[in-house]
Amino acid sequence: MSPAAKLPAARVLEEFLFRQAELLDGRNWDEWIDLFADAGVYWMPLKEEQRDAENYPSIFYEDKALMAARVGRLRDGHAWGQQPPTRTVHLIGNVRLDGAESRNGEILVRSNFTVAEFRRDVLRHHAGTYTHHLRSAGKSFRIAMQRVDLINCDGIHEYNLQVYI
Amino acid sequence: MSSNGVSLSGLVQPDRVHRSLYVDAEIFEREIDQIFGRAWLYVGHESQVPNPGDYITTQLARQPVIMVRHSDGSIRVLHNRCAHHGSMIAGDRCGHVESLFTCMYHGWTFRTDGSLVGVPVPEDYEGTGFDVRNPRNGLGRVTRVHNYRGFVFASLAAEGPEFTAFAAGALTGFDNMIDRAPDGVEVAGDCFRVIQHSNWKIFLENMFDNVHPRIVHQSSARGAKNAQQRFPAGAANHVSLETFQLLALDQSFMQRLEIDNYPWGHSNMSGFVSPRGEDAESLAYEAVLRERHGKERAEQILSRNFHHTMLYPSAVLQPSFQQLRIVKPLAVDRTQIDIWLFRLKGAPKIVFRKALSYAIGANSPSNMVSADDFESYYRVHQGLAGPGSEWVVLSRQMGRDLVEDGTVRTRVGSSEASQRNQFQAWRRYMTDENGDPR
């Protein structure tokens, strides 16, 4: 029986998505990075339905080394752009498994998110779609790819995205 | 015009400038007319409009414009405003028309050179004095347009210096990027669009400030260093991490940088990150360049490393990483920067990968470097808003520059010669009605 025919329960996957959001909101970035597979990537395309991250610009395109660099800066104490720091709250819903397929043993989960982000008196709002490519790892998963499609990806960005969405 | 009883001219002194240059809304409005309304501004690149009817839209000073490829193959810059009631003719950032622009409001039609073709009820205008049958009653045209090796610039002023005389030494940076491309350059996809909550001049000054990096970017440098120790991959997509670490080296590293400054406020600064590589792909690329240009010329091109070339007041090019940042001032305390990446056609993928890594890491909306620059710009702007302390000091290495034929050269990286030069150009733009800076 192929792994595709034996998808984990929807609830387990949902919990995993909620957990990754909770780690971000709690600024537990090392644990969050550990959710990724060794060659895992966090990708936020610049364009709707972008397919190519190697030959066209993206907003984020980070492997674990780049994630560690970002997190190192965020925690440094001399990251002036984090004085005051950014706070976030993620809300994840509309989790969809109906398109879930196994590709190299990966499980595809799509969901919608809204993220409220607050820094220095300014509250702003992000919204979009997550596409998680997950690999089973014991009782949990590892993220091979977390694709984050903001609905305003190619719009004007009023503030830097210093933390992960 | 005056501010706090001081004349505009007096706001720029040899060693300092007045805070009102950054925060006075009236001065800002005048800058848009006197500086952005007259200077040669970057419009777009010809690769964005490969075929007749292809267009992009943008804004020059206060003027919305369309850059379009006309049926004769030339590139035209037209006012994005219907000749009838003023509606923008093109509502999107880019697109294509089959020979005619049609206004969405009343259906007036125009050729891609702006000439008027038709209106819905022409007899309405009979005897009114407005001739709807005269093609010249079409879209406004920007007449002073210059296509420099594919880069299209325009000046909204009726008169002024020719483009090449205006750009002068800043062209060497554009030449260097174009010469690095075996088969020419092209825009790679869409641009990043980011907002700085600060005056536009604070950004341009910072491009040539070589004392701030190890203070402002120390956290990015430490973060990158620790990350590379933990994940020592060293792939092309980690060029950004290698670059970040250079930002926080001892000041003597930055002191080696050389900056040349030109009459209209432009500057060239030498590079501290080499785009060259020892890997097989990079060496193959250098071999292709030698084939195209000859050994000596190819080495000349590859060894000339610019960090920034600035065409004041609208464009900052990083020739070695194929990145062009365009300045669009929106308000006295709000500046839009459009960040374009270029592909060197005929060069192996690694050349673009390095540029991409650098651009995403340093300048994208998610960047890990400019986030701290933007914070410093914001704090500078907020600090200068207070009337109690009036002057900004710009006297680092003052009086030690070399001046040759109007070019101010500094061979000490920390010099504020570029900033002083920018404000000399600013003063001339703002106080001389003829717009002649010399």
Segment B102-145, tens digit of pLDDT: 999 999 999 999 999 999 999 999 999 999 999 999 999 999 99
Confidence grade of residue A2 (pLDDT, cut at 50, 70, 90): very low
> What's the pLDDT score for residue B4?
43
Instruction: Check CB contact of A160 with chain B, cutoff 8 Å.
Output: yes
Mean pLDDT of chain A: 92
C-alpha A122, offset from chain centre: 22
Rounded to a whole number of angstroms, the distance from the CA of A163 to the nearest CA of chain B is 8
Compute the count of residue pairs across chains A and B with CB atoms less than 8 Å apart: 132
The token duo for B62 is 């206060």
Whether this model's pTM surpasses 0.90: yes
Which residue among A57, A68, A155 places its CB closest to the CB of B364? A57
Query: Nearest-CA residue of chain A relative to B215?
Result: A78
Touching B: A residues 77-116, CB under 8 Å = 77-81, 83
> What's the pLDDT score for residue A8?
58
> What's the pLDDT score for residue B7?
83
> What's the pLDDT score for residue A101?
66
Interhelix angle B218-230/B239-246, rounded to 10 degrees, is 130
Give every residue of chain B whose pLDDT is below 50, as ranges. Answer: 1-5, 435, 437-438
Peptide bond into B182 cis (omega under 30): no
Residues of A in contact with B364 (CB under 8 A): 57-60
C-alpha B274, offset from chain centre: 22
The token duo for B315 is 């464009």
Touching A: B residues 315-344, CB under 8 Å = 336, 341, 343
**Structure confidence by residue, pLDDT tens digits, B261-280:** 999 999 999 998 888 888 89
Please tell me the distance from the alpha carbon of residue B169 to that of residue B145, in angstroms, as a whole number. 19
The amino acid at A79: A
**Structure confidence by residue, pLDDT tens digits, B365-402:** 999 999 999 999 999 999 999 999 999 999 999 999 99
Please tell me the distance from the alpha carbon of residue B375 to that of residue B196, in angstroms, as a whole number. 9
